[in-house]
Structure 1
Amino acid sequence: MPRAAQSSTGVIVRDAHLQIDLRRHGFGKERLDMPPTPSNIKYAEKLRNEILGKIERGTFALADYFPDSPRCKTDAPSTTWGQLATEWLKIKKPAVQHSTMHHYQQTLGSLHFDEVRGKHMADFDYRMLMGLLAKLPENPKTFNNIATVIKQVLHYAYLAKTIREPLHEHIAMRRRQEPEPDPFDLAEVDVLLSKFTEEEARDYYEFAFFSGLRPSEQIALRWTRADLRSGTVKVDIALTRGKEKGTKTSSMRIVELSGRALGVLERQRARTQLAGGHIFLDRTGEPFAGTDGPLNDWWKPAMKVSKLRYRDARQTRHTFATMCLMAGNRPAWAAGQLGHSPEMFFRVYSRWIKGADHGAERNALDAFISPQTGTKTGTEKPNST
């Protein structure tokens, strides 16, 4: 039987190697592959004291000292950033849309994380975090998209006790100026629609301008969601990154179609209703695989020959919103048509809302506070006769 002896310093001496006893600190007897000579024993005692100091400070990672230990797999601080990110993705997957998961996977697999992917979480501190953030793209939107994912991973790491400090609280998003809507006016809409060389393309974008649907919602729209008698469509599906999911707001809405949008559906009946599937199809008669199809095949060529100032196809939705306001529709109704919350609608379209009533609200106020009406507020003296 091999001889084993333990000194009062927590070093176990065996015939061919040494062990450092960490059982009282949540680990085990960790092996050092060195013969039990007096100098090696002294080295092991110093090493143990160093480890105990790190355990006390919460910075000890078993894999840094004993990478072959079977206990490394259960030691949270020994987990690398890459391993933790993979673990977090597995946990998030059932709770998010596939498009969101795709964004998370692309972000965490990008070059931005190459320097930290193999780092143990025990070594991930404030300085490392700040260094990682400093190397991200300067563009506020891009920075925020990546930093948001980092923040979520570090929050999970803190709750899972792979790090002791709530590093996620030190991540500040960058302020960015949201681009304002840049809608078309009605005359520009008609000019652009006249430049589409295919009837299907012209109808597709006429529906986009006069229904206000998101592109991802329009390409997923089916005849089973359309009610031509009531002039409505039910919007509850969007096609994003090749897969169908719920709408951007994860809520269903009933859209009351304008006359021009309803006219498009009447024309589409002869083209696609018999098949019973999607309302809008590409030029080969197949459902669109993504929003790039109508954009590249139809929108960009028509914009090029229209001589109008270039705007992207998302402005069809902004155009619908501003047309509703210019027509005198109530902002709350327009917000419901677009699937916006009233708060978001007012924030995005406040400039158009201010002038949408054509002075009617101010005139009503002036009429109320004018001297003529002011004498009827109940403050005048009663007639003595």
Structure 2
Amino acid sequence: MDSKLTGIKANNSSISISFTYNNVRCRETVKIKPTKSSLKEMDRKRDAILYEIEFGKFDYLKHFPNSKKAQQLAGTQANNMTIKEMINDWFKRTQDQWEYSTKRGYISKITHHIEPNFGHVCVSEFKPSLFKDWAATSTLSGKSKNEVRSILRSAFQELYIDEVIDGNPIDRVKRFKHIQADPQPFNNEEREKILAQMTGQVRNLYEFAFWTGLRTSELLALKKCDIDLERNVIFVRKALVHGREKGTKTSSSARTHQLHETALKALKAQLLLLSNDHERIFLNPKNSLPWRDDRDIYHNCWVPSLKKSGVKYRTQYNTRHSYASNMLTQNKPIAWIAKQLGHSDATTTLRKYARWIPENY
């Protein structure tokens, strides 16, 4: 039974679809009984294929996953696709899976490093040596290079799974060593010099930071409902990043934290400054609104106070290190400190802070 539809031919128990792709005449057979409705369905499928071919969106293997012709022409698809196009397609398909802060980080890596250096290269022409040459001259840290590598690897992996390419070229690039900076905690004298430059809500926040070891993003996300003054604990469940609330850094970071008496004092002093309509604990004293993120408070409060104090510059993250080292010198149990900090186990705590363990521990 022959069909009168263009490019569609009916056989006894199947229907064939004909079209031209990359100057190659293609014919694919679909095992479906030719009926009036099935012929119309195949005609619509052919129209969709022609539309995708016209606008460069045709994925042969997606339409005909078992086709030998599709596998033969997959290499042609790789020849016609640039790294920029590959990354953009991958980003559109996967962006809904990420946290907002993760998406921002990926956009930055793609815009500033992947597109300028590799965007013009065809997928079929990308070699591991291209990435290695870039990494050898890049001033990025090992961690950032690994993040760029991870993005490229994920995008290439989709093409590999779809059999557009024979292998993932990034798999032949080793991860880069990331040398983490040693903690530089503030001693008691330095801590008091810094706090002496602060007043009101800002002092309450940083005194609380020094005596809890919370990450700044966790501090800024803290709400009244996260406090239990009867038990002298707080519940760390959220973080504030780029003005948006998200989950904690890791699952172990979600924790119940026992408050040191100094942290409790700072917290109570802060609560007295809040009105009933304020849910967040720490606010910008200039406008009584929640801080947007850690960069906001860093530039407006931390840096000016540190300069005035005369203390050697370190980032505000070292308030966390100060708490950990302080608790260790007080002979607090390592497992307890790990839980207070939100570490997955005491091994992480030991790796970072072993030098502050007293000899008589």
- The answer to whether the superposition gives a TM-score over 0.5 is yes
Contact 2:222 2:236 in 1 (8 A): yes
Q: 1:134 to 1:161 in 2, by over 3 A?
A: farther
In the alignment, structure 1 residue 257 sits paired with structure 2 residue 281? no
Match of 1:341 among 333, 344, 352: 344
5+ long unaligned stretches in structure 1: 1-18, 27-67, 361-385
Q: Structure with the greater relative contact order (CA < 8 A, sep ≥ 6): 1 or 2?
A: 2
Q: Secondary structure at the match of 2:314?
A: coil
Greater alpha carbon shift after TM alignment, 307-316 vs 136-145:
136-145
Residue type of the alignment partner of 2:301: W
In the alignment, structure 1 residue 292 sits paired with structure 2 residue 276? no
Residue type of the alignment partner of 1:350: A
Cα deviation 1:329-370 (Å, max 9, x = unaligned): 1111111111112222121112223x2xx425xxxxxxxxxx
Which residue of 2 is the match for residue 237 of structure 1? 238
| TM-score, with structure 2 as normaliser | 0.75
Q: Secondary structure at the match of 1:239?
A: strand
Which residue of 2 is the match for residue 352 of structure 1? 356
> Alignment RMSD, CA only?
2.5
Cα distance in 2 for partners of 1:109, 1:277 equals 37
Contact 2:113 2:148 in 1 (8 A): no
Match of 1:101 among 95, 100, 103: 103
Cα distance, 1:126 vs. partner? 3.8
Pairing of 1:117-266 with structure 2 (within 5 A)? 117-134=119-136, 136-137=138-139, 139-196=141-198, 198-251=199-252, 252-266=254-268
Cα distance in 1 for partners of 2:104, 2:317 equals 22
Which residue of 1 is the match for residue 46 of structure 2? none
Cα distance, 1:282 vs. partner? 0.4
Contact 1:220 1:237 in 2 (8 A): yes
Cα distance in 1 for partners of 2:150, 2:356 equals 32
Residue type of the alignment partner of 1:344: T
Pairing of 1:359-378 with structure 2 (within 5 A)? 359-360=360-361
**How many residue pairs were aligned?**
297
Contact 1:151 1:171 in 2 (8 A): no
Contact 1:235 1:253 in 2 (8 A): yes
Residue type of the alignment partner of 2:354: S
Cα distance in 2 for partners of 1:274, 1:20 equals 71
Cα distance, 1:317 vs. partner? 0.3
Which residue of 2 is the match for residue 278 of structure 1? 280
Contact 1:133 1:147 in 2 (8 A): no
Q: 1:227 to 1:73 in 2, by over 3 A?
A: same
Cα distance in 1 for partners of 2:212, 2:274 equals 19
Q: Secondary structure at the match of 1:114?
A: helix
Contact 2:255 2:342 in 1 (8 A): yes
Q: Secondary structure at the match of 1:23?
A: strand
Contact 2:126 2:169 in 1 (8 A): no
| TM-score, with structure 1 as normaliser | 0.71
Which residue of 1 is the match for residue 332 of structure 2? 329
Greater alpha carbon shift after TM alignment, 206-215 vs 140-149:
140-149
Which residue of 1 is the match for residue 41 of structure 2? none
Between the two proteins, what is the percent identity of the paired residues?
A: 27
Cα deviation 1:83-113 (Å, max 9, x = unaligned): 2212222333232211111111111122542
Which residue of 2 is the match for residue 74 of structure 1? 58
Cα distance in 2 for partners of 1:23, 1:229 equals 75
Cα distance in 2 for partners of 1:101, 1:190 equals 38
Contact 2:128 2:173 in 1 (8 A): no
Residue type of the alignment partner of 2:299: N
Cα deviation 1:221-272 (Å, max 9, x = unaligned): 1101111111111111111122111011145211111101111111112211
Q: Secondary structure at the match of 1:181?
A: coil
Q: 1:308 to 1:134 in 2, by over 3 A?
A: closer
Greater alpha carbon shift after TM alignment, 150-159 vs 97-106:
150-159
Cα distance, 1:301 vs. partner? 1.6
Cα deviation 1:59-106 (Å, max 9, x = unaligned): xxxxxxxxx953842244233322221222233323221111111111
Q: 1:134 to 1:70 in 2, by over 3 A?
A: farther
Residue type of the alignment partner of 2:239: A
Bigger CA radius of gyration? 1
Residue type of the alignment partner of 2:214: L
